[in-house]
Structures are given as C-alpha cells and as structure tokens.
Chains A and B, each alone.
Chain A
C-alpha cells in the first residue's frame, strides 16, 4: 500500500512539473490531434457495433429475431424503407445511446456464457427478454417508434377506420403509447398470458 502511494506520488510529481523536452505548441497541438483520433476512433467503433451486420454476426440474433423480422413490414414493404436492428433497439441520442450500450455489456456476458445459444433456450427466455424491451419502450414513450412515426404528421384520413379511432383518442391523449398495442410487430411474441390486453 505504501509503495503504491509512493508510485502514485512520483507520477503526480511528473504531471505537475512543466515540460522540459517538448514545446507548449507540440503538447497542445499533439493533444488536440490525439483527441480527434481517440474520439473519432471511439465513435467509429461505437457506430460499428450499431449496425445490423454486427447484430446478425451472432447466430442468436441471425437465426431467431432477425429471421422473424424478415416477414414483417419493417423489413419488406412496397416502398423499400426499412428499419434495422439499432433503429428500434438503440436510442439515437448520444447520452441515451451510451447508457444503452453499457446495459448491452450484459448481452456480451450472455453471449460468452451461451445464455440463449440454442432455439430452445431462446424461447424459454423470450418472455423475459421481450418484457425488457416493452418496459424500455413504455418508459421512454416509444421513443424509437417515434423517431420515424411522428404523431404530428399522421394523416388520420389516410388511416383505416380502426387505426384512426385508436390513434385519435388513446394515443393523442397520451393514455397509451405505441408499444401498448403494437407488441410483436417485428418479432414473434412469447407466451402472452397475463400481459394486459392479451388473453
């Protein structure tokens, strides 16, 4: 312990002392450039983990949830606009994104220990995993849905009568958020016993 304090103290001494060999210009400019490189590198790496190619590089995602997505309107539709994994599962704002990425370290743990490395294990865990996502979307008022589906620009005259009825009442008044009704639109549902609105 004493030696550790001694070591830290010597480093503190080095940090406090003015530079002898390097000029102030070199240190500031060098620091600036190194900052750009580190920050850019960090963000590039972060964005690389934020792609569908990265998500589906694991068989857990590719063979289960991604395979199911392919049937749905968020993957295949008339206009060719589509949502990728991070569009719905990672917040777009930086702070929220970092928070989510820290939570996602649990998923690395799961990957290493094979928590859902077979279809059977995945199906067994599906309700729990789905509940996490429902809770997240409920808590942030379906933020990831609303990144594309903006309520202010919904044209009720172009919606089916049922959709118009629900969106102009429950959604407009804030009683309900997207995920309350639109569960299982991109992936298959787990056993829905006890989920509000389901039999």
Chain B
C-alpha cells in the first residue's frame, strides 16, 4: 500500500515535471471548445420538423424519416400511437402512409394479421428530424449521384 502511494506521488511529480496539461483541451469533435473537465452549457433544443412533407430517401431500403412531431406518442406494450394513423385499418381515414407490408410479416415472410412484434417499436428505425447543422461532416452520396459521376468520368453521355 505504501509502495503504491509512493509510486503515485512519483507519477504525479513526473507528470508535473513534464508540464503535462492535466486539464487538456477537449477534442474538437461534437463538443467544440473547452477542456475535458469543463462543463459547457448544453446547446439549445430545437423543435422537430413538423411540415408533414415526405422526404426523399437516400437509398431504397432506408426507413423513411418521420415528417412530423411525435412528442408524447406512447409506444409500448399497452398501445402504439403511431398505428392509430399508420395501421392498415386506419390509413384510409387518416390518409397517412400505411406501414409497409413487410411489417406484417414474421422473419420467415409469413403474413400476420397485425404488425409483427419485431416491427412494433417504430422509433427503432423511424425518427423525426430537426433542421440543424450536422455535428459531423458527411460525404454520403446517393447511388444516383455515384452512377452519374461514373457515366461522366467514362466520357459517355447518359
């Protein structure tokens, strides 16, 4: 025990001797500025986009994002507020897009009467969006852009 404390003191001394910054500046990633020990004020919350206009999908299999606010929508074993509009039965009345047929299948592709339990929790894949500057730069290009570039590079006209 004594040896350990001695060792720790020695370590602290060498750290200080090397002028090692104990309160190092934080990496300028998602949390720009400040040091590791500093607590910065949280950025202001921004409302979910609520325009009800369908957004383009970046690739065909992308789960569509939710174009409206979902504050307080209860989705648990007691009930699913999303399905009040998006279920097969409700979509005619609400004019909301019906959840895809794949959601009514078990994993073997067998059709079910109701939404499959593995697809029941909407927010696992579908999320609302906020109009904010991305925290991390993203260089994603859609397949259309990739194909367009490939055609242009090969010198052909599409």
Contacts and interface: CB of A to CB of B under 8 A. Distances in A.
A binds B: yes
Contacts of B78: 188-192
A157 interface: no
A195 to B, nearest CB: 8
B133 interface: no
B112 interface: no
Contact of B79 (A160, A161, A198): A198
Contacts of B80: 198-199
Contacts of A191: 77-79
Contacts of A161: 51-52
B21 interface: no
Given A72-B72, A160-B50, A189-B79, A197 B95 contact: no
Contact of B95 (A71, A165, A199): A165
A195 B79 CA distance: 10
A140 B84 CA distance: 23
A189 B83 CA distance: 15
Contacts of A114: none
Nearest to A186: B72
B74 interface: yes
A185 B72 contact: yes
A162 interface: yes
A184 interface: yes
Nearest 9 interchain pairs by C-beta? A192-B79, A161-B52, A199-B83, A191-B78, A160-B50, A189-B79, A189-B78, A198-B79, A197-B84
Interface of B: 50-52, 68-69, 71-72, 74, 77-81, 83-85, 87, 90, 95-96, 114-115
